[in-house]
Amino acid sequence: MAGLGVKGHQVEVFESDSAENGKRYLERITTNIPGVEIVYADNANGGRTLSLAINHETENVQRAARTDIENVLRSAQTHEEWVKAVEQYGANWNARQEEVRQAKLLSIDIDECILPTPRESRLDGNFARDGERFKALDEAGMTIILNTGGQRRRLRKSSNFSNLWGWS
Amino acid sequence: MELNGALAESGAIRIAQNEQKEWIMERNPTVPEDQWQAMQTCIGFIRENYLSKHFGIAEPKVSAVTFNLDQEASGKTGFQLQQELLQLLTERGLPTETVANADVSNGGIQLAAGGIDKAAGMRYVQGLTGIPKEQCIAVGDSKGDLPAFSEAALTAAPFNGAKELRESVDYFSPFDAEYGILDITNQIIAQKQQA
């Protein structure tokens, strides 16, 4: 299951009148997709149900493309298709953990990635969260380069962001 | 990290603070000097002969210019302006491919200095920091970021990334735009903390 980017595995047991032995089992598999879990559940007829649980309360999912995630994952009709769909997200990155750990330079495109369109849609809280993460990366020894195809004056619009990062 | 900073105009310019905490703006020295000269010559010509006479509107950059020509006022077409610039560069012995390859399809002209893209920007920063390509991560969402990706060992894109990126990146975040960046940086931090 490592290829799935599994982060945690938990089995819950429930009392159930409908189950032959009076118990039902629920396996919750936390994936590397924030807020997304794979859930296996025993059925009363002895079969198992594979389903998807998405925690919409997860911080990062506030404006995430969760509908797209759901569409992709729910379109899978079989276990194999489901695994393949999940593997689209993060499996390659997970397979290269050591390279991520050794990385020393991070180049990030500004437009859309850090400064969305319209710019006003960017919430101060998100700037703050980026700032916190960039400080953490800086402390981990990474050099961070904001990379834009636009003019240098556009960078000035990110001054609030850069202040949080300690650029002022 | 003193070298934290920014690259503008697709890697043509680096912006950072020096040891005295003063803001500095450096031209990318990996771009050939004659390409810079050709670009500045074209921008200067357009300013002097067209902009000052209100023959159009320009969005000049250091390494590029987009000039929206007012053909009625100037009596010229984008193609004619292109020919004027080509003659000027030839007379001065400067490279002409910037102008020869310019887009004049919209009546004006769009110029960008040769040798400039985000790959050149990455190489510039790699040279300054001594960090090799093998230790670089590049994150972007558009086709314009692909050159930067070619100079990084690992690549990532948010969910809104262009189709070309979606198929090639090492990590395709399930979150779009800035939330994708939060996700990507979270994952890097998590790996760094385990190192």
Provide, rounded to the nearest whole percent, the portion of chain A with pLDDT above 90: 5
Which one-letter amino acid corresponds to residue B97? E
How confident is the model at residue A104, as a pLDDT? 93
Residue B60: how many other CB atoms lie within 10 Å: 18
CB distance A112 to A149 below 8 Å = no
B21 phi and psi angles, rounded to 5 deg: 65, 25
Provide, rounded to the nearest whole percent, the portion of chain B with pLDDT above 70: 96
Distance from CA of B165 to the nearest CA of A (A): 13
Distance from CA of B47 to the nearest CA of A (A): 18
Which one has a higher pLDDT value, B36 or A159?
Answer: B36
0.80 surpassed by pTM: no
Query: CB distance from B187 to chain A under 8 Å?
Result: yes
How confident is the model at residue A160, as a pLDDT? 46
Position A48 confidence tier, pLDDT thresholds 50, 70, 90: low
Of B61, B121, B178, the CB nearest to A113: B178
- Predicted confidence (pLDDT) per residue in B4-46, tens digit: 678 888 889 888 777 777 777 889 998 889 999 999 999 999 9
pLDDT higher than 90, residue A5: no
CB A152 to CB B25 under 8 A? yes
- Predicted confidence (pLDDT) per residue in A112-146, tens digit: 566 655 555 556 666 667 777 888 888 888 988 88
Of B15, B145, B159, the CB nearest to A152: B15
Distance from CA of B82 to the nearest CA of A (A): 23
Query: CB distance from B189 to chain A under 8 Å?
Result: yes
Position B156 confidence tier, pLDDT thresholds 50, 70, 90: very high
CB A113 to CB B135 under 8 A? no
- Predicted confidence (pLDDT) per residue in B82-115, tens digit: 999 999 999 999 999 989 989 998 889 999 888 8
Helix axes B78-91, B33-46, angle to 10 degrees: 130
A56 CB burial (10 A radius; 0-12, 13-18, 19+): exposed
pLDDT higher than 90, residue B136: yes
How confident is the model at residue A2, as a pLDDT? 32
Kindly provide the ipTM of the predicted complex, given to two decimals: 0.85
CB distance A148 to A154 below 8 Å = yes
How confident is the model at residue B105, as a pLDDT? 85
